[in-house]
Amino acid sequence: MASHTITARTPGVFYRRPTPDAEPYVADGATVAEGDTLGLIEVMKTYREVKADAGGTVSRWLVENEDEVTIGQDLVELDT
């Protein structure tokens, strides 16, 4: 099985949930399709969705919720 890593396209603060009280966009081990939302990055007071650019199963998160991330930083690994 191959793995695929999704990276940040903008710097900012990474969130796994749409709001602090909501369930995460995707649970660990969940299967996602290309285009599914995996999280949010907040920068310049706007929130941008992080989308899967490939389908697969979430195998490992490489950042914590509310971590500050940089452009190109690995966010999550998918088994494809």
Enumerate binding residues for other proteins (CB under 8 A): 7, 9-13, 42-46, 48, 68-72
| 9 or 17: CB nearest other proteins | 9
Phi, psi of 50 (to 5 degrees): -95, 120
Contact predicate 60/30, CB 8 Å: no
Dihedral sign, CA of 18, 68, 61, 9?
Answer: positive
Nearer to other proteins among residue 42 and residue 77 (C-beta): 42
| Least distance from other proteins to the Cβ atom of residue 29, Å | 28
CB of 52 to other proteins, least distance (A): 16
